[in-house]
Structure 1
Amino acid sequence: MLAAATRTSASVASTSASASKSLAPLISRPRRYLATAASGPCSSYLSVTHPDSSASPDSEVGKTLARFDASTLATYARPTVLLTRGKGLDLWGKVDPAKNEGQGEWKYLDFSSGIAVNSLGHADSQIAQIAREQADRLVHSSNLYHNEWSGELADRMVKLTQEHGGLGMAKGAGAKDELKVFLANSGTEANEAALKFARKHAMISANKAPGEKAGLVSFTNAFHGRTMGALAMTPNPKYQAPFAPLIGDVHSGQYNSFDGLNDLVNEKTAGVIVEPVQGEGGIFPASLEWLQALRKRCNEVGALLIYDEIQCGLFRSGTLWCHSEFPVDAHPDLITMAKPLANGFPIGAVLMNKKVADAITVGDHGTTFGGGPLASRIAHHVLGRLSDPQLKESMTASSAHLFTRLETLRDHFPDLVVHTPEKPSPRGKGLLVGLSMREPSHAGKVVKLARERGLIVLSAGSDAVRIVPSLIVTKEQVDQAVDILESCMLVLQREA
């Protein structure tokens, strides 16, 4: 597993804060790597270099965005940045040349990876070549017929799980059970399918009439999607209230809490869904003991345990599945996945054990686009790349370095960053990392300050800065990103 590393020393000291403050307006593209605790926080990025206001209304970019806004439903609050291309962890966006010394684009360092999607980075040349080849052969044929790649993808997913561990199989134990895959188009569709499968399994295994054993359980701070079923499992009034009533017989428990667990998961429960590491909810890992208790209780009442690994799975946490190296008594019956599976091409999937698969028959569920040959071929390739031991070695080193640098940042700014047993900072696993801010509004402020200095990060939960770079990230890129974040913290201190 990937974990926070112990502190290491580096060799390059930064310019002092006072000197950098006076020089900051003169520096347009500052760079500083390998900062240390001894050198103090980086102050090379105090000045705004990528202002959100760069697109004036009468510029080409401003006019384009205004035209887009006139016809696009406003479900996102977006800055006036028009992204046009990417490569690796770099993104370029159009700007008004008059506001950028004659240059028509800016370069950003992307530590969001498209919300934990682009694990192999942007515009990967191998994926582009495969997409071109397959698009020239067959894009869609419907699930009424087999295609070359959906079965290959399912086969690779099952074999990798048998090799790396998961769904009741310890790492390296070999095949002990049949596993089955259902291919969909997105994470929320994968969760919808898993919830349906849980109810069907409960009806069949307990010989109950529909509705007699249909209870579904999720937990506080969860995020499982925005369709009606997945939304019902996302107990956040901000998301749920405008669309009530949602599906019935849904119950919410406290994440990582043992209190009342036996009453929450009872004889009427069909399925329990949980994120082993919560993503949108604030980057909170579930305790192993709590997951073991969930597994035990599901066994006692005949309920299925579903792990939503849409954000934390597929090597984001350092292993194939976030639970791959857990004891088997903390394994689920189903895993849902999506985000990185095809490195940005839409796809989702449910991987399930035999007892679940045996309850599902022809006609119980379906999908028009899921399992298409283009998406399946790309995902088959991506899975092979993500499971390369060399990538894991590089990712492990980058993760350790990221945790070390963020620990130093935290120690520099105890007035800004929360660090308690309930909210340790940094926290997470692998390259899914969060920092909680003492003032919740500062999380969004850091995201904006970083973007205005050429770094893209995310927020999560009520107070967290979320850091999820592509898995190909280097130590040098980690240094650049954390240097920018340190400068953002200095700006926050100055404003306070």
Structure 2
Amino acid sequence: GIRHEAKVPGPQTQKLMDQLKTQGGMGGAVVFFGDYTASTGCYLVDADGNRMLDMFSQISSLPLGYNHPYLQKAMSDPLMASFAHSRAALGMLPPKELPDLLNETFLKIAPRGMTRVQTMLCGSSANENVFKAVFFWKRAKERAAEGRAATDFTEEELSSCMSNQAPGCANNLSIMSFSGGFHGRTLGALTCTHSKTVHKIDVPAFDWPTAPFPRLRYPLESHQDHNQGEEQRCLDEVRRIFQCRLDEGRPVAGVIVEPVLSEGGDLHASPEFFKQLQRACKDFDAAFIVDEVQTGVCASGHMWAHEAWGLKDTPDFVCFSKKALLGGYYYKDEFQPAQGYRIFNTWMGDATKILFFRAVLAAIEKEGLQALVHTVGAQLMGILKFAACSHPELVTNVRGVGTIIAFDCATPALRDQFAAQMRNNGVYVGTNGTQSIRFRPSLNFNLEHVAEFTRVFQQTLSQLAE
């Protein structure tokens, strides 16, 4: 259970922070240092010996908490050592076991109708390469309309691309994204990211369009008319952008969206919104990209959150990372590049992570974790909704799907105070948006953990209400 030894961050963490600052600071956003040998299950131990109930799970990336037996066992897989110390360039010299491993892992849980997967290193690299695949597809269609093969490049195209100029570089094409979205911090992904100014300030961006994402009011059942109108307003703007860009000779090649806009404040929309968004993509011949980096691998209660939308046709791309333990994306057959070496980097992922992910999928299946997410999510939502009634000055706009759950505080300062107080009381939660607290527990977060959270949550509410 929870154990208090010092304030968080404590003296040992402060000492380590001072040392790390002289080495570069590791990005300058360290909260505290973890003791990952001592951490176990859903409990994270810090450098000062505090044991916290972890409801943020390394920015939503730990599927099974700390030192899980299935992952410990995977360490002794005979392939693990050879994959680790002879790391293969998967796109050029993959291990002979790779096709079978993909069948046993990513293709086993592929979204309906998808038979192709590309592994990558992280979520940003997955999204960047999806954008490239979309542009290859779009240009191949344009060449086909001219009677040319996909790789029948003109001399002008080949020479101009080397100096970043048209027609070789399709500088008129774009990816549409949404306000509040987050897709990564590399340049293309960052152009599609609109959640915090600190991510974007000073960095050049592509001239790509941004559409508004619905801002729903809660509780949903009390605001149906407003929310339907808000979603329609956003869909109308999506279509206006599509048409405007098309008229200007700058067509939108693809649209990227998260099932829940996580960094932007856990923004949700209805299944009908996403159905209509896909319909708009089809009408304007654009790829429909679903970024499931934070929502994938059962966190929503479905293996993939978009499964809850009831789409008649699968998205064109589904991106993953975090709980999948490495990055990558699924894609439809028509988006297979016509040439090798166009989607490529040295490692193209990491074979050791595929072995670990095989163990994760075994745990999900044998321990019934997908069903547990539904049960735990419902319990947490009930507790938070009760708090919104009893402490409306502290907790508002409770929302969630599975264990992807959030609520708002009245101000950013109160939100920061709430998160810090929870941490000092022994529960580590995340923040997002301008004033939201978010919960991202591991899949094995159970009802005993819920009870422990409830005690600390009520203690924190009482302290902040004083």
Is the structural similarity TM-score above 0.5?
yes
Which stretch shifts more, 374-383 or 178-187?
A: 374-383
Give deviations 1:127-148, integer Å, cap 9, x for gaps: 1232343332332122222314
Equivalent residue for 1:109, pick from 46, 53, 58: 53
Secondary structure in structure 2 of the residue aligned to 1:197: helix
CA distance in 1, matches of 2:387, 2:420: 18
Equivalent residue for 1:216, pick from 172, 175, 188: 175
Per-residue deviation, 1:315: 0.6
**1:52 aligned onto 2:8:** yes
**1:428 aligned onto 2:412:** no
Q: In structure 2, what residue type is equivalent to 1:482? A: T
Secondary structure in structure 2 of the residue aligned to 1:311: coil
Equivalent residue for 2:102, pick from 154, 157, 160: 154
Q: Structure 2 vs 1, CA of residues 370 and 460 (structure 1 numbering), >3 Å: closer, same or farther?
A: same
Kept after mapping to 1: 8 A contact 2:105/2:354:
no
Paired residue for 1:87?
40
Paired residue for 1:255?
213
Q: In structure 2, what residue type is equivalent to 1:52? A: V
Equivalent residue for 2:343, pick from 361, 365, 370: 365
1:183-332 correspondence to structure 2 within 5 Å? 183-207=119-143, 210-211=169-170, 214-236=173-195, 238-246=197-205, 248-256=206-214, 257-266=234-243, 267=246, 268-329=251-312, 331-332=314-315
Give deviations 1:12-60, integer Å, cap 9, x for gaps: xxxxxxxxxxxxxxxx979xxxxxxxxxxxxxxxxx87413630xxxx6
Kept after mapping to 2: 8 A contact 1:49/1:454:
no
CA distance in 1, matches of 2:435, 2:252: 33
Output the aligned Cα RMSD. Answer: 2.4
Per-residue deviation, 1:179: 2.1
Task: State the identity as a percent.
Answer: 21
CA distance in 2, matches of 1:135, 1:159: 20
Equivalent residue for 1:393, pick from 371, 390, 396: 371
Per-residue deviation, 1:64: 3.6
Per-residue deviation, 1:321: 0.6
CA distance in 1, matches of 2:388, 2:51: 27
CA distance in 1, matches of 2:73, 2:114: 33
Secondary structure in structure 2 of the residue aligned to 1:109: strand
CA distance in 2, matches of 1:278, 1:237: 12
Secondary structure in structure 2 of the residue aligned to 1:206: helix
Paired residue for 1:446?
418
Per-residue deviation, 1:81: 4.7
Which stretch shifts more, 403-412 or 302-311?
A: 403-412
- Give the number of equivalent residue pairs: 413
Kept after mapping to 1: 8 A contact 2:2/2:53:
no
Paired residue for 1:75?
27
Kept after mapping to 2: 8 A contact 1:219/1:235:
yes
Give deviations 1:434-492, integer Å, cap 9, x for gaps: 01112232221111101111110000111110011111011121121132122212222
CA distance in 2, matches of 1:442, 1:361: 53
Q: In structure 1, what residue type is equivalent to 2:213? A: Y
Secondary structure in structure 2 of the residue aligned to 1:292: helix
Kept after mapping to 2: 8 A contact 1:149/1:376:
no
CA distance in 1, matches of 2:172, 2:282: 14
Equivalent residue for 1:135, pick from 80, 85, 101: 80
Q: Structure 2 vs 1, CA of residues 132 and 305 (structure 1 numbering), >3 Å: closer, same or farther?
A: same
Secondary structure in structure 2 of the residue aligned to 1:434: strand
Per-residue deviation, 1:120: 0.9
CA distance in 2, matches of 1:92, 1:471: 19
Q: Structure 2 vs 1, CA of residues 457 and 29 (structure 1 numbering), >3 Å: closer, same or farther?
A: closer
CA distance in 2, matches of 1:291, 1:218: 13
Paired residue for 1:488?
460
Which stretch shifts more, 376-385 or 228-237?
A: 376-385
Secondary structure in structure 2 of the residue aligned to 1:234: coil
Secondary structure in structure 2 of the residue aligned to 1:94: coil
Give deviations 1:51-83, integer Å, cap 9, x for gaps: 13630xxxx655443222211335233345553
Q: In structure 2, what residue type is equivalent to 1:349? A: G
Kept after mapping to 2: 8 A contact 1:313/1:337:
yes
Q: Structure 2 vs 1, CA of residues 153 and 338 (structure 1 numbering), >3 Å: closer, same or farther?
A: farther
Secondary structure in structure 1 of the residue aligned to 2:183: coil
Kept after mapping to 2: 8 A contact 1:309/1:336:
yes
Per-residue deviation, 1:194: 0.9
Q: Which runs of 5+ in 2 are unaligned?
A: 146-166, 215-233
CA distance in 2, matches of 1:79, 1:433: 21
Per-residue deviation, 1:291: 0.9
Kept after mapping to 1: 8 A contact 2:105/2:357:
no
Q: Structure 2 vs 1, CA of residues 455 and 240 (structure 1 numbering), >3 Å: closer, same or farther?
A: closer
Q: TM-score, normalised by structure 1?
A: 0.78
Q: Structure 2 vs 1, CA of residues 341 and 236 (structure 1 numbering), >3 Å: closer, same or farther?
A: closer
CA distance in 2, matches of 1:403, 1:94: 32
Q: Structure 2 vs 1, CA of residues 91 and 434 (structure 1 numbering), >3 Å: closer, same or farther?
A: same
Q: Structure 2 vs 1, CA of residues 123 and 389 (structure 1 numbering), >3 Å: closer, same or farther?
A: closer
**1:336 aligned onto 2:319:** yes
Per-residue deviation, 1:237: 5.8
Per-residue deviation, 1:157: 4.8
Which protein has the bigger helix share? Answer: 2
Q: Structure 2 vs 1, CA of residues 185 and 29 (structure 1 numbering), >3 Å: closer, same or farther?
A: closer
Per-residue deviation, 1:331: 3.7
Q: In structure 1, what residue type is equivalent to 2:370? A: K
CA distance in 1, matches of 2:74, 2:68: 10
